Structure 1
Amino acid sequence: MYLKDLSFSLWADFIERDFLNKEFKELIENGIVNGATSNPAIFKNAILNSIAYKEQLKELKNLSAKEKYEALAIYDIKKAADILKPLYEKGDDGFVSIEVDPNLANNAEKTIEEAKRLWKEIDRENLMIKIPVTDEGCRAIKELVSEGININATLIFDPKYAKKCLDAFEEGIKNSDKKPYGVLSIFVSRFDRKLDNTLVQKGLEKGKAGILNAAKIYNTIQKRELPNIRALFASTGVKGDDYPPFYYISELIAPHSINTTPINTIKSFVNDGFKEQKLPIEDEIIDEFFDRVEKAGVDMQNVYNELLEEGLLAFVDAFKEIIEELE
């Protein structure tokens, strides 16, 4: 834990082979990070821009493009899991996540099939399988949790979908002989990038929509009290100069929570960020803000839907670029 008194963790939202061999180990040894997450965009940047993958690719020349991608990603995930295993064994998180093919987001059966295959092939108990929280994704989460598979439920924007996801976790846990771990990855900064200009024009405060939406979902998760299930704040890197780099970490420090973020953001927070508890925020305060947003003419349900579609598309596009480059 980065802040032990709050059980607040920092996870590295980054995977790359040279990083795992060097800086990642240093961050763990210094008590800064205790987990890692990945997604297709992260692997795209790593695989296509780092020479660390060239040698292994030579060995994979007879495989399909997706098989090459998976071989590269699985190698890195196994390495990260092994590096993190001592933390996991002493109950200090130690998880690493890999995402299923984003093209499967609206197909529960194929999501379940691929998740089980990845879980078996990687064969690390400190692995989490990332599943986008769509209707079909929730069906998959329920089934996978019931089989004892750790799940990182990702691309959560809508509080209603967060509740549906929690229902899936709860039903899965009831039907499981094991005690799987899970996180709900609540995306944050994309709200403000989408809404800040509009809110300022309407006389409302910018830089609050993402934080207060995340705070609302955090409250919902905490009230459920599901065993081994926590809130994870994602999309917490800052783009542009409107906010300090550590803004979405410092403003979301909460008991029993995780913030996964790029390495430079972590360093900024460690060096300069405010480290006092900020959550929970009362639901009444959150609801009052969003009431004003709605009265100003912003349809939040439409915002939730658009952000989910944009997030899915970004991962699909990144995955497509990797596959095309590896063909």
Structure 2
Amino acid sequence: MPTPALCPGSCNTAWRRAEHALAVNGTPHDIPASWGTPVHCPGCVERTRRQLFELPNLLYAVGREQLHATRAPSVSTTHSAPTDTTPWPGQSARLLIDLVAGGLLETAAELLRLRGINSDRLLANGVREERRTNRAVTILERHLEWLLQEHPLATESHEPTRTGTVVIASGNPAAQIAHWHRAMVRFTHQDEAHAVQRLAPCKRCGGPWLAEARDLRLVNGLPYIECQSPDCGALLTQAEYHDHVRSLIGDVPTPAPARRPVTADVVDRQAVDDVLRGVLTDDRPPPRHPDDAPGETAA
């Protein structure tokens, strides 16, 4: 039986970043790691299965967004050079469909080749794109366990590799499926989980860049609080963030208690009657000058 290893999926992204901070800055952490069975953990397998199942419907939704995110036509002037890059209607949707559909076909064909299965039917000419894409999704669903546990790139981390300013996407099949799914969900405006900003400053760098991490989840489903500064990247659990807020507001003076409303049981009825009688009958004492001079009114 293969020895279980740390899951390369997004469930361990927080742990990998915390380990990097520990190696670089010596910052301790208590973030638990998720173990694979033997490579990917059950949670990542089920998430990939769900995302793969939703891809055909998302492709259809992208196809209906014919004018979404299309750049405005460039305006030519007497000083501008001729160009043939003017976008055509539906260009953005078509490019995204080509990316996802082509990636699905390539991944399915590679899977069949690695497993020694004939892929001629999948790549046959004269088949509509929709039917061919659905066939590729079906193949990937049937072989998903092998794809995530025994594929040559199944052990590669889902996080992209950064070399200077160059970002190299992960070759892990589960990471590719998650990337396609995320791109189409955002393109069709079906992503409702926006980053929730936090008002407290960062505990480490002091910058106002704290937000709920969208791709880091605790076991109980509560999101981490992550510093968005590229030079910091601190991670706080919900409990740690609340303790941090309490430490910031601990020296704030307690506000004065609100004034008690006047009710009928605390009002002197006789005093009220005397005031009303004096106002209504004009029995108020005559005004006096500040110098107490008789016969003069106050200024």
* TM tier, smaller: under 0.3
Which structure is higher in RCO with an 8 Å CA cutoff and minimum separation 6?
1
TM-score (norm 2): 0.24
Which one has a larger percent strand, Structure 1 or Structure 2?
Answer: 1
Q: Which has the larger radius of gyration?
A: 2
Which one has a larger percent helix, Structure 1 or Structure 2?
Answer: 1
TM-score (norm 1): 0.23
